[in-house]
Structure 1
Amino acid sequence: MSFKIAIIGAGSVGFTKKLFTDILCVPEFKDIEFALTDVSEHNLGMIKAILDRIVEANGLPTRVTATTDRRKALEGARYIISCVRVGGLEAYADDIRIPLKYGIDQCVGDTICAGGILYGQRNIPVILDFCKDIREVADTNAKFLNYANPMAMNTWAAIEYGKVDTVGLCHGVQHGAEQIAAVLGAKSPRELDYVCSGINHQTWFIDLRLNGRKIDKDELIAAFEAHPVYSRQEKLRIDVLKRFGVYSTESNGHLSEYLPWYRKRPDEITRWIDMSDWIHGETGGYLRYSTETRNWFETEYPQFLEAASTPIDPQKRSNEHASHILEALETNRVYRGHFNVKNDGVITNLPRDAIIESPGFVDRFGINMAAGITLPEACAATCMASINVQRMSVHAAITGDIDLLKLAVLHDPLVGAVSTPEEVWQMVDEMVVAQAQWLPQYAHAVPAAKERLSKSAVKTREWAGAARRSVRSIEELRAEKAALKQAV
């Protein structure tokens, strides 16, 4: 087989390498072309050198090109994969820093909440530019695979306004299933069969079977509470399991910021989170992790390049959906996964226009969703709160309506639990002004926002958050990795 895959945001080096090696685990795909594109020529050069080394080490005819000219990369591409972060870590830092001034403490801030909504405002205009290029220069039947957050907003915009065949992909369901399999004592996650459905980062394991035996709520709660690690790291998720009756896919830290109950007061935050790793609820945890990862890669790049000489092992193919979808579409080997698509009745008690994440099957006829799923009422209610925020956020990003943007932020569950309307209005003005260079649709609104800020009487505070850690130095990271290696 010979076709072209374009990766936008390929400068996300570690993730691009994973996608690349996963795809090359499919024997039929050795003769394809990867076209890498990114706004950073520096990052492109690094990732192309790594992928070239992989191709050489494995004696493959695979072609790798790299260019900052996106349209050139997209020309004739059958598949386009996006893993972009518009504004990079600079804008992301504001997504965390500014809401903290108004008492909003986020762990990740990339899906909803104040940070996720502004992230969507930056991404959606760029996503629509991608879609325009895809329609104009890519293969006629090109498929757009979006890995970038905020997943639901980006996918919503690409489908509804970009008019491109789009599927959103995330690994949260797989990670949640691995946890459940572990607490139930399964030898392999493959022993667990499940139906997981909802919206991205708020999907729910509504049916669980271990080796064919149905697992009920009480057994699952007992298993998590008895686990020596997860009982400590996933306190919030276990509490939601007890109250809702089903387990959520998303991490303790992520889930905490989608709900109005657990991060509304500093003392409550520390009660529910765990600081053993950023993902369990640390303030700005993913920002710190991303910063450390970038610094580590820049410093240790020669080691990453050397490691690329290792032969590809198909047994180590990851559970990221992309390679499995491509394999199913191109070879007709059926793949079952969980995909982000427009609802259109797949989940009976969520709106038809919403982007849902639910089970589907892939073969040469495309992605076929399992329809007729009904969520437990509490799960549907929680999803609905986010869907309403997502819908307003997408419409605001498309129109550049700053008043609608403020209403979207006001209706966010955690923001509404913490901030007053006056605080929300000022916070959004401050975020739009700070991020104006990435928000072209709000250019007309920036002067008035600056004027309002100069006259505002709303008080703010400089606050690091309830559970903030400093970015570690390269020396500290080296020492930690050495200690972990010695412990093993």
Structure 2
Amino acid sequence: MSFKIAIIGAGSVGFTKKLFTDILCVPEFSDIEFALTDLSEHNLQMIKAILDRIVEANKLPTRVTATTDRRKALEGARYVISCVRVGGLEAYADDIRIPLKYGIDQCVGDTICAGGILYGQRNIPVILDFCKDILEVAEPGAKFLNYANPMAMNTWAAIEYGKVDTVGLCHGVQHGAEQIAEVLGAKSHSELDYVCSGINHQTWFIDLRLNGRKIGKDELVAAFEAHPVYSQQEKLRIDVLKRFGVYSTESNGHLSEYLPWYRKRPDEITRWIDMSDWIHGETGGYLRYSTETRNWFETEYPQFLEAASKPLDVSKRSNEHASHILEALETNRVYRGHFNVKNTGIITNLPQDAIIESPGFVDRFGINMASDITLPEACAATCMASINVQRMSVHAAVTGDIDLLKLAVLHDPLVGAVSTPEEVWQMVDEMVVAQARWLPQYADAVPAAKERLSKSMVKTRDWAGAARRKVRSIEELRAEKTALKQAG
């Protein structure tokens, strides 16, 4: 087979390498072209050198090109994969820093909440530019695979306004299933069968079976509470399981910021999170992790390049959906996964226009979603709160309506639990002004926002959050990795 895959945001070096090696684990795909594109020529050249080394070491005919000219990369592409973060870590720091001034403590801030909504405002205009290019220069009928957060908002915009065949992909379902298999004592993940349904980062294991035996709430709660690690790392997630009756796919830290109950008071935050790793609830945890990862990669790049000389190991193919979807579409080997698509009746008690995450099967005929799924009422109610925020956020991003943007932030569950309307209005003005260079749709609104800020009487605080850690130096990271290696 010979076709072209374009990867936008390919400077996300580690993730691009994973997608690349996964796809090359499919024997039929050795003779394809990968077209990498990114705003950073520096990052592009680093990842191209790594991928070229993999191709050379494995004596493959695979072609790798790299360009900052996005349209050139997209020309003739059958598949387009996006993993962009518009504004990079600089804008992301504002997504965490500014809401903290108004008492809003986020762990990740890339899905909803104040940070996730502003992230969507930056990404959506760019996503729509991608869609325009795909329609004009990619292979007719090209499929757009979106890995970028905020997943639901980006996918919603691409489908509703971009008019491109789009699917959103995430790995939360797989990670949750791995946990469940472990606590239930499964010998392998294949022993666990499950149906997850909901929306991205709020998907629920509504049917669980271990070797065909149905697993109920009480058994699952007991299994998690007996686990020496997860009982501490997933305290909030286990509490939701007890109250809702089903387990959420999302991590303790992620889940905490989509709900109005666990992060609204500093003393409550420390009660429910775990500081053993960023993903369990640390304030700005993913920002710290992303910053450290970038710094580590820049410093240790020669080691990454050397590691690329090893032969491909098909057994290490990851459970990221992209390679499996492409394999199913091109070879007709059926793949079952959980995908982000427009609802259209798939989940009976969520809106038709919402982007849902639910089971589907892929073959040569496309992605075929299982339908007629009804969520437990509490799960549907929680999803609905986020869907309403997502809908307003997408429409605000497309129209540049700052008043609608403020209403979207006001209706966010955690923001509403913490902040007053006056605080929300000022916070959004402050975030839009701070990020104006990445928000072209709000250019006309920025002068008035600056004027309002100059006259505002709303008080803010100088607060680092309830559980903040400093970014570690390269020396600290190296010492920690050495200690872990020696201990292992």
What TM-score, normalized by structure 2, do the two folds share?
1.00
Q: Name the CA distance, whole Å, in 1 between partners of 2:45 and 2:188.
A: 39
Q: Name the CA distance, whole Å, in 2 between partners of 1:188 and 1:443.
A: 53
The residue matched to 1:283 in structure 2 has which SS?
coil
Question: How far off its partner does 1:384 sit?
Answer: 0.1
The residue matched to 2:318 in structure 1 has which SS?
coil
Q: Name the CA distance, whole Å, in 2 between partners of 1:447 and 1:189.
A: 55
Tell me what 1:465 maps to.
465
The residue matched to 1:403 in structure 2 has which SS?
helix
Question: How far off its partner does 1:141 sit?
Answer: 1.3
Q: Name the CA distance, whole Å, in 1 between partners of 2:415 and 2:41.
A: 37
Q: Name the CA distance, whole Å, in 2 between partners of 1:380 and 1:18.
A: 34
Tell me what 1:248 maps to.
248
Question: How far off its partner does 1:190 sit?
Answer: 1.2
Q: Name the CA distance, whole Å, in 2 between partners of 1:307 and 1:244.
A: 45
How far does the alpha carbon of each residue in 1:135-168 deviate from its partner, in whole angstroms, 9 at most, with x for none?
A: 0000001000000000000000000000000000
How far does the alpha carbon of each residue in 1:101-141 deviate from its partner, in whole angstroms, 9 at most, with x for none?
A: 00000000000000000000000000000000000000001
Question: How far off its partner does 1:73 sit?
Answer: 0.1
Q: Name the CA distance, whole Å, in 2 between partners of 1:217 and 1:156.
A: 33
Question: How far off its partner does 1:288 sit?
Answer: 0.0
How far does the alpha carbon of each residue in 1:351-398 deviate from its partner, in whole angstroms, 9 at most, with x for none?
A: 000000000000000000000000000000000000000000000000
How far does the alpha carbon of each residue in 1:46-91 deviate from its partner, in whole angstroms, 9 at most, with x for none?
A: 0000000000000000000000000000000000000000000000
The residue matched to 1:59 in structure 2 has which SS?
coil
The residue matched to 2:469 in structure 1 has which SS?
coil
* Displacement over 4 Å in runs of 4+: none
Tell me what 1:266 maps to.
266
How far does the alpha carbon of each residue in 1:228-248 deviate from its partner, in whole angstroms, 9 at most, with x for none?
A: 000000000000000000000
Question: How far off its partner does 1:225 sit?
Answer: 0.2
Q: Name the CA distance, whole Å, in 2 between partners of 1:313 and 1:326.
A: 19
Q: Over the residues paired in the alignment, what is the CA RMSD in angstroms?
A: 0.2
Q: Name the CA distance, whole Å, in 2 between partners of 1:482 and 1:190.
A: 34
Q: Is 1:30 paired with 2:34? A: no
Question: How far off its partner does 1:327 sit?
Answer: 0.0
Q: Name the CA distance, whole Å, in 1 between partners of 2:311 and 2:428.
A: 49
The residue matched to 2:322 in structure 1 has which SS?
helix
The residue matched to 1:154 in structure 2 has which SS?
helix
Question: How far off its partner does 1:189 sit?
Answer: 1.2
Identity %, equivalent residues: 93
Q: Name the CA distance, whole Å, in 2 between partners of 1:215 and 1:399.
A: 46
Q: Is 1:326 paired with 2:331? A: no
Tell me what 2:67 maps to.
67
Q: Is 1:166 paired with 2:166? A: yes
How far does the alpha carbon of each residue in 1:196-242 deviate from its partner, in whole angstroms, 9 at most, with x for none?
A: 00000000000000010100000000000000000000000000000
Question: How far off its partner does 1:188 sit?
Answer: 1.1
> How many corresponding residue pairs?
488
Q: Name the CA distance, whole Å, in 1 between partners of 2:344 and 2:480.
A: 48
How far does the alpha carbon of each residue in 1:270-290 deviate from its partner, in whole angstroms, 9 at most, with x for none?
A: 000000000000000000000
Q: Name the CA distance, whole Å, in 2 between partners of 1:2 and 1:141.
A: 16
- List runs of 5+ in structure 2 lacking aligned partners: none
Q: Name the CA distance, whole Å, in 1 between partners of 2:456 and 2:480.
A: 46
Q: Name the CA distance, whole Å, in 2 between partners of 1:232 and 1:398.
A: 42
Question: How far off its partner does 1:187 sit?
Answer: 1.0
Q: Name the CA distance, whole Å, in 1 between partners of 2:256 and 2:412.
A: 13
The residue matched to 1:388 in structure 2 has which SS?
helix
Q: Name the CA distance, whole Å, in 2 between partners of 1:423 and 1:67.
A: 43
Q: Name the CA distance, whole Å, in 2 between partners of 1:4 and 1:40.
A: 21
Question: How far off its partner does 1:295 sit?
Answer: 0.1
Q: Name the CA distance, whole Å, in 1 between partners of 2:308 and 2:269.
A: 41
The residue matched to 1:60 in structure 2 has which SS?
coil
What TM-score, normalized by structure 1, do the two folds share?
1.00
Q: Name the CA distance, whole Å, in 1 between partners of 2:307 and 2:476.
A: 22
The residue matched to 1:249 in structure 2 has which SS?
coil
Q: Name the CA distance, whole Å, in 1 between partners of 2:191 and 2:462.
A: 49
* Structure 1 segment 33-432 matched on structure 2, within 5 A: 33-432=33-432
Q: Name the CA distance, whole Å, in 1 between partners of 2:391 and 2:184.
A: 38
